Every structure is written in structure tokens, then in C-alpha cells.
Amino acid sequence: MKDDVYILGIGMVRFQKYPDLGIKQLTAAAMEALAEDVRVEPKEIEAAWFSNSGWGMSYGQHCIRGQVALAPLNIQGIPIQNCENACAGASSAVHGAWTAVKAGLYDLCLAIGAEKVWYPEDKKKMYEGFASGADVEFINAMIEAFKASAAKKAQEEGATGKERKGGHSAFMDIYGMGARMHMQAFGTTQRQLAFIAAKNHFHGSLNPLAQYQMDMTVDEVLEDEVVAFPLTRSMCAPIGDGAAAALICSERMLSKFPDARPVRIAASILASGSLPGSGFDGISERASARAYEVAGVGPRDISCAEVHDATAFGELSQYEGLGFCPKGEGGAFAESGATKIGGKLPVNTSGGLECRGHPIGASGIAQMHELVTQLRGDAGARQVQGARIALAENGGGFIGMGEAAMCVHILEKVK
């Protein structure tokens, strides 16, 4: 169709800790990686969406982050939209670029996310930055209750993991509480969560761009330090820095790049969370139902998916919310091996947030990078055979009892 929208090119740097690099340098590195895929002159980019969450809190760079980061690369003078949507910022940037191209305003747009999360000199500031992705009045009142619940449940379950001495993001307490509620309601086990984390560590061991590249067994995951019961450290996304970029283009722009290998964006949906009693369905259910409708596919048509696994329980809950399995059966679905490479629906072949890493403002585009790589057939040892349709779910922040923002994208291989 003449109004189809494509990912023309993709690039990212390996997510890890970069003590000597700032946002400008990480942004430049992502653009260099993008140029290795598709070379585009800065003057050819008509508009840009820049995702970042923490630059203001960490270094005082507020308001015009995209203009500041992109101007040294000669991407200036064009419309630049600064995009902040917690962990869903980068996928929201893609959605913004997709919307503009779909509307016919532009033919070639840039979506880019860069994040500096690791501040070893001030861990308190680092963790406070994570907490700001929620209703701060609510979250501060709830954390102590979550911690007390976790301690009680761990004692009842006879948890074997070592108690973690370091700090952690407040979101780990929220995910831990969600996992305990799921365990109580459906009989989900800590070992099933460990299956998810072990699977992601295996996938990450095959990904040269992953922050963690070591394979782990289920027992090793269970024996790791406990962050917020039932979640051990290996079940949680690490702290790290990184950047990723994507070029979004129209159908008519493709002829100008005959050597490119585009992937069609079959659906791009952005949804917001809701408070209890609002009458809205869960955000995953709402966003994915709309994405399936727009793309004309269903959960059974998905070849592979990247989902927002800030923890192993986050991935489990998305199995159910996205319709990959019935409600309450996420643990058994994971334990069956269905979501591992070679299974019927491989999930997080990149290693996911748990192993690829989670620099907040860049993670959503990193998901796109993995799925484009899969749909092109370039994933090497982690390649999903016959991959044709892929789904990315990227959640951000916390409101009520779920994510505050979420993007669901469905990508399709171009024949």
C-alpha cells in the first residue's frame, strides 16, 4: 500500500556500563551503527524523535535534550521532538515517527534513544531516578508494605537464594509483589520464573550486543541473591548504559535506498495505563488487541517476540496479556520450553532486558533491532527459522496496578 511505513535501517551499541561516555557520545555511537546498516546524510532526515529519561536528573540537561545531543552530528534545523515515557520512551519515539510518516508529513524520520543509567558515585540518585517513573506519592507509601510481604513469603516458601545486600530499583518490589500475587492465585512457582531467566541467559549468551553473555542453569538462577522474593538477581534487568536508533520511512522513499533491507511496520500502538475501578481492561490486553486488529494477525501468527522483561515475572505476565497463553498459565507455558529458541514462540531472543540490558530511553528501539535482525535472517546462532511476523511490547512506568505507558509494534518481513 502507498501509505505503508517501514523500518529502513537500525543500529545500536552494546548495552553495558560506559563510565567515560556521556549522552552525546552514546548518541553518536548509535548513529555510527545505524550508518553501517543504511547510510543516510543528515540533510536527508526530515524529522527526529529523541528518547531519554535521566539526563535531566543526572546532569541537569532538561527540555531540549534531543537538540543538544543531535546538533553535533549535524542533525539540526529540522523538527526534533523530545520523547519521555519512562521505559517505553524509545518505542514511543518510533510510534511518533511512524505517525508522522503514516500521515504523509515526512518520508524519512529518525527515532533514537540514549540513556546513561549507571552512576556508581551516587547510587541513591540512580535508584530515585527509577522511582520517578511512578506516582511518587503512591510508590513511597507502598514499598515498605511490599518488602514486608516479600520477607514473609520467602520464609513460607523456604527460599534458598542469598539475601541481597545492595540496593535495587523500587520497581523490583512492585514486580515481586505482582509475582507473589500470581503465585497465590494460579500456583505459579519460583522455579517457573527461573526457567524464564535461564532461557534469557541462554539467548543472551548468543548475542554479541547483550550486556550479559553468560549462560545460566535454572538452579543457578534460583541460588542467586534474592532482590525481592521470589525474584533473584538473575531474574532482574541489570543497570547499564546504551543507545539505539532506527530510520522510519515511507513506501516512496524505499526506491532511493535499493540496497536497504526494510521491514514493514504492520501496526504501531501506544496506550496508557489506568487506575483501579476505571473500567479499562489491562493495558497489555488493550494495546495488543488493537495491534492485532490493525495488522490483521493474531497471537498464533507471531514468529518471535521481544517483551518488556524488567524481571522474569514481567515476561510471564506479558505471555498472558499478549494472548500467547491463557491467563494464569504463563508459568507452565515458560516451563514447557515454548518461548526458547526452537520452541513454538521464541520470546526475547536477544536475551531481553534481563540480559541484553535496559538503558531506559533506548530499550524499545533495541527490541526493534533484534526483531529486524530476526526478520532479515541475520541472527546467526539465535535465528528463529522462518521468522515472518514479529511483535515488540515495551512498557514504561507504573500507575494503578500496571504500566503507565505501553507500545506494541508488529513488524512484518518484506518478501
Is 203 annotated in the active site?
A: no
How far is residue 262's CA from residue 376's CA, in Å, rounded to a whole number?
Answer: 9
| Strand, coil or helix: 57 | helix
**231 forms bridges with which residues in the sheet?**
228
Catalytic-role residue among 358, 369, 407, 409: 358
Handedness of CA 248, 115, 54, 398 (dihedral sign): positive
DSSP 8-state secondary structure symbol assigned to residue 277: T
Q: Which of 19, 47, 6 is nearest to 264 (CA)?
A: 6
How far is residue 6's CA from residue 8's CA, in Å, rounded to a whole number?
Answer: 6
Spell out a b/e string for 39-54, using b for 16 or more CB atoms within 10 Å of the CB, else e. ebeeeebbbbbbbbbb
Report yes or no: 362 and 115 within 8 Å, Cβ to Cβ: yes
Is 358 annotated in the active site?
A: yes
The full length of the chain comes to 415
Report yes or no: 216 and 234 within 8 Å, Cβ to Cβ: yes
- In terms of DSSP bridges, do strands 108-115 and 47-51 run parallel, antiparallel, or are they unpaired? parallel
Spell out a b/e string for 234-270, using b for 16 or more CB atoms within 10 Å of the CB, else e. bbbbbbbbbbbbbbbbbbebbeebeebbbbbbbbbbb
If you compute the radius of gyration of the chain from its CA atoms, what whole number of angstroms results?
20
Catalytic-role residue among 83, 87, 304, 407: 87
Q: What is the DSSP string of 197-253?
A: HHHHHHHHHT-TT-S------HHHHHTSPEEETTEEGGGBPPP-BEEEEEEEEETTT
Report yes or no: 248 and 10 within 8 Å, Cβ to Cβ: no
| Strand, coil or helix: 414 | coil
Angle between helices 363-376 and 89-102 (to 10 degrees): 60
Question: What dihedral do alpha carbons 404, 407, 408, 414 form, nearest 10°?
Answer: -170
The residues annotated as belonging to the active site are 87, 358
